[in-house]
Amino acid sequence: ARGEAAAAGPGAPQFPFPYTPYLIQEQFMAALYGALEAGRVGIFESPTGTGKSLSLICGALAWLRDFEQKKREEEARLLAVEESGQEGKECPSLAGPAHPESQGTAGEPDWVTAFVQKKEERDLVDRLKEEQIRRKKREDRLEKIRHNVQLKYVAKRKRAEEDETKRLLQLSKEVLSEGAGDALEQLDDNEEELILAEYESDEEKKVVSGLEEDDDDLEEEHVTKIYYCSRTHSQLSQFVREVQKSPFGKDTRLVSLGSRQNLCVNEEVRRLGALQLINDRCMEMQKNKHEKKSDEENEGKKRRVSRTICPFYSYEQMQFLRDEVLVEVKDIEQLVALGRETKACPYYGSRYAISAAQLVVLPYQMLLHEPTRNAAGIKLKDQVVIIDEAHNLIDTITCIYSAEVSGSQLCCAHSQLLQYMERYRKRLKAKNLMYIKQILYLLERFVAMLGGNVNQNPSCQAVSQTGTVLKSINDFLFQSQIDNINLFKVMQMLSSLFGFVERYGSPASAVKSNKENQKLSGLQNFLLTLQQGADKEGEFSPAVEAENDQVRTASPLMQIEGFLSALTNANQDGRVILNRQGTVGQSSLKFLLLNPAVHFAKVVEECRAVIIAGGTMQPVADFREQLLSCAGVDPARVVEFSCGHVIPPENILPIILCSGPSNQQLEFTYLTRDLPQMMDETGRILCNLCNVVPGGVVCFFPSYEYEKQVYAHWEKTGLLTRLAAKKKIFQEPKKANQVEQVLVEYAKCIKRCSQAGGQMTGALLLSVVGGKMSEGINFSDDLGRCVIMVGMPYPNIKSPELQEKMTWLDKKMPRATGQAPSRVLIENLCMKAVNQSIGRAIRHQKDFASILLLDHRYARPAVFNKLPQWIRERTQVKPAFGAAFAELRKFHRGKLDALFCGPGNGL
């Protein structure tokens, strides 16, 4: 489609668009532009299927284009003024504005004031000139790469030469090891390292022709940019593809950031699978590289054991990758392919591109978690942040900053650290020894809080008092007798120990030293002795062996550091949960963040503007009160925008059903939902619906357990057989890796039935609210002609975490509309989940579907008003089943007739 420019009126901003936008898209872009220009915090809602991504892209990038243009014009004006000032600078002090009074406000003569003003202006001009030079240099470099294919060939040829050299080195090594006996093996190792070290230091000095030697632009200042974050990598990739298709796709400098798990191209590291192990191994290889350099400086002083370094972690290759990324928009998959081709690390290479990028696309955690943000080199000062799919933003921040550590992890870490300390006690510096003893003490006290002894097998220690206890941070610190320990210093020490003791009994992993412990050597052998001597450790060793699988998937020290970090939150903002189950190994300590606003406050304070966007943001009161108000955002700075749907009103039929076919009132509370008559009534409703609804029917239950219970009941009563005669029945699997397969089979079945005709009219998918299928999966067209919500999915009110959050809200929040804040929270959590699920069926302008809410409580005004506006406006409340069924039959028959007898579809 030809690009169109949308504008709201004369003098209004122009929004280039790949096709003629809907009116609601124009309104969305205009509101977004206004919010960014005014530096607001915006809550933007645009239902799925209304082209939200494109509206965000074209609205935000149009603002950035205009902002950059204005900035350039202002720069040019200032530089022009400065130049004209240079020409006529007879008397610089008089060139400034005339001051009527002879003395400044602080008592200085006016020539001093003028001089200071002039100096500030000169400094600004100098800064602008530097910025211009840097920008010109970057633009020239990218232009050269864009048009000079030869540069790519030079880089490619150089990589081929490197591969050949490495192959020859490998061959030499093999020949040497075959020809020489064991006596020469150690020498061979050292020789190999010397050759590689020499080769690598050359590689570091050389620069691909076309890249300048003094290329210092890794230090480039951060240009004004937009940080766009979403929940999953697939959502981010989809967004990048939309950018590529948009009118801004050709000239936007975009960089995608991700985790090592998604971006690592070193197969040896990728094979480790678990994110924690990949992170650990990557950091280890980097330390090896940095130590190698310091080793080269002290060459000849001692023999060293050869250590693995990552061949992709090369400054020069990553520079090349950075420029390739900035020249053309690439998603994560394309970035990884480029990393493999250029033999450069996409994880670090993409970070080098952040400063010059205009649009940075990244996952939630990377932006919202401050330590991760800082480590990635993300600077939010005066930048724009857009958080998409933000309906669960509060929960996301709570999860990111909450931390849990199990009894078995605490005991395992204690065992590793104790053995490490005993082995190297004489070589450790006194200060380090002190901190290690403090960590051991902490671990001992934490296990004691769970009712165990750190020196015994956690799997064999039964807990006498099971249950869950909540404590304030201060109470926990006092009761565990660690309130006099500086947790910040202990955490620093812990992170420097990650390389030493994190993998018990894994001899292949090289363990490294930090700067204060550089004399340590032979740690690999020490790990071997740990593994071989495990049985000599007496009663504890089986525990470690038993937990070995768990330990391998995550470093216990890292988990413990996360928990200690959480304990440094303010006392009122969190709680510590002692979860005592069966054995000490199964028990855990968990930190629960009650006030996510404290961590969001920094984002809102530093950024020029923040946009929180989603398909379903209702109810928005949560965002305003729990997040923005608590983060200290001035209510006047907050702007809300919500648009309707693009589908015509007659394409959607939402019904609140108050009773079933046998006049049984529908009320699925914890007390009534298990009654056989309630489960029977639900089955009868579905049987009737499957007779009139074509294609796919998606039925949402409040939990996996209830779905299983109902399914078993229907199986017993024979109702399932009646249902299966009309629709093939599918159940949502609990395991994430099975979801795709079930969806493929479900879609195939619907397609087969629509083509074959006959008695079987499609498929019925039994899903769960908050499960894999209630978010991020589209049931468009025939995949979801009817969505049913069984009952109201209230959260488990007996959960200690939820009870604590409710108590906290009642203390902190003002009582609005006569309802306690805790009651509002419960209702909002329920309706957020409902809105997410029922929005799955309508995905584009010509789609149609019916929505059935099975519970008379949906008709209550407080609940009804929390439905999305575009659904609420069209919802009918039906007290009896007969009238609702007639309406549904009429709706679906009418749609079928329109499909078959519409223009071009004549039979």
Per-residue model confidence as pLDDT tens digits over 477-514: 999 888 888 888 888 777 766 655 544 433 223 333 33
The per-residue pLDDT for 86 is 55
Tokens of 907: 């039979």
As a whole number, mean pLDDT of residues 304-311 equals: 64
Looking at every residue in the chain, the average pLDDT score rounds to 76
Range among 271-275, 293-297, 337-341, 455-459 with highest mean pLDDT value = 337-341
Q: 139: buried, middle or exposed (CB in 10 Å: 19+, 13-18, 0-12)? A: exposed
Per-residue model confidence as pLDDT tens digits over 160-169: 666 666 666 6
Q: Please, what sign has the CA dihedral across residues 767, 770, 772, 773?
A: positive
The per-residue pLDDT for 856 is 92
Alpha-carbon distance of 618 to 866, in angstroms, equals: 6
Q: What is the chain's Cα-based Rg?
A: 32
As a whole number, mean pLDDT of residues 319-338 equals: 86
Q: Which of 75-84, 705-714, 742-751, 874-883 has the lowest mean pLDDT?
A: 75-84
The per-residue pLDDT for 271 is 85
The per-residue pLDDT for 146 is 62
The proportion of the chain whose per-residue pLDDT surpasses 70, expressed as a percent, equals 75
136 or 519, higher pLDDT = 136
Per-residue model confidence as pLDDT tens digits over 435-451: 888 889 999 999 999 88
Alpha-carbon distance of 40 to 44, in angstroms, equals: 12
Task: Tell me if 837 sits within 8 A of 649, measured CB to CB.
Answer: no
Tokens of 184: 């020469």
The per-residue pLDDT for 229 is 92
Q: 325: buried, middle or exposed (CB in 10 Å: 19+, 13-18, 0-12)? A: buried
Task: Tell me if 55 sits within 8 A of 29, measured CB to CB.
Answer: yes
In order, the DSSP letters of 204-246 are HH---TTS-TT--GGGPPPPS-EEEEESSHHHHHHHHHHHHHS
3-state secondary structure of 340: helix
The per-residue pLDDT for 176 is 61
Q: Which of 93-102, 172-181, 333-342 has the lowest mean pLDDT?
A: 93-102
- Compute the C-alpha angle 516/520/526, nearest 5°: 135
The per-residue pLDDT for 539 is 36
- Going from N- to C-terminal start, the domains of the chain cover 226-381, 403-499+555-595, 652-898
Residue found by looking up tokens 């209304």 in the block: 50
Q: Name the band, by pLDDT with cuts 50, 70 and 90, for residue 98.
A: very low
Q: Which residues pair with 699 in a beta bridge?
A: 766, 788
685: pLDDT strictly greater than 60: yes
**Torsions phi, psi for 401 (to 5 deg):** -100, 0
The per-residue pLDDT for 905 is 43
Per-residue model confidence as pLDDT tens digits over 248-258: 888 888 998 98
Task: Tell me if 774 sits within 8 A of 837, measured CB to CB.
Answer: yes
Alpha-carbon distance of 95 to 121, in angstroms, equals: 12
The per-residue pLDDT for 177 is 61
Per-residue model confidence as pLDDT tens digits over 224-262: 899 999 888 888 888 999 898 889 888 888 998 988 888
Q: Which of 274-283, 602-611, 711-720, 725-734 has the lowest mean pLDDT?
A: 274-283
The per-residue pLDDT for 709 is 93
Of 553, 512, 497, 504, the residue nearest 530 (C-alpha):
504
Task: Look up the CATH superfamily of 652-898.
Answer: P-loop containing nucleotide triphosphate hydrolases (3.40.50.300)
As a whole number, mean pLDDT of residues 554-580 equals: 83
Alpha-carbon distance of 892 to 261, in angstroms, equals: 46
As a whole number, mean pLDDT of residues 775-782 equals: 69
Q: Which long-range CB contacts under 8 A does 13-19 form with residues at least 24 apart?
A: 13/62, 13/63, 13/66, 14/62, 15/58, 15/59, 15/62, 16/58, 16/62, 16/246, 16/247, 16/248, 17/54, 17/58, 17/246, 17/247, 18/54, 18/245, 18/246, 18/247
Residue found by looking up tokens 């149009």 in the block: 62
Topology of domain 403-499+555-595 in CATH is Fumarase C; Chain B, domain 1 (1.10.275)
Q: Name the band, by pLDDT with cuts 50, 70 and 90, for residue 386.
A: very high
The per-residue pLDDT for 159 is 61
Task: Tell me if 867 sits within 8 A of 652, measured CB to CB.
Answer: no
Alpha-carbon distance of 143 to 150, in angstroms, equals: 13
91: pLDDT strictly greater than 50: no
As a whole number, mean pLDDT of residues 51-77 equals: 87
The per-residue pLDDT for 534 is 37
**Torsions phi, psi for 143 (to 5 deg):** -65, -40
Task: Tell me if 658 sits within 8 A of 856, measured CB to CB.
Answer: yes
Task: Tell me if 563 sits within 8 A of 413, measured CB to CB.
Answer: no
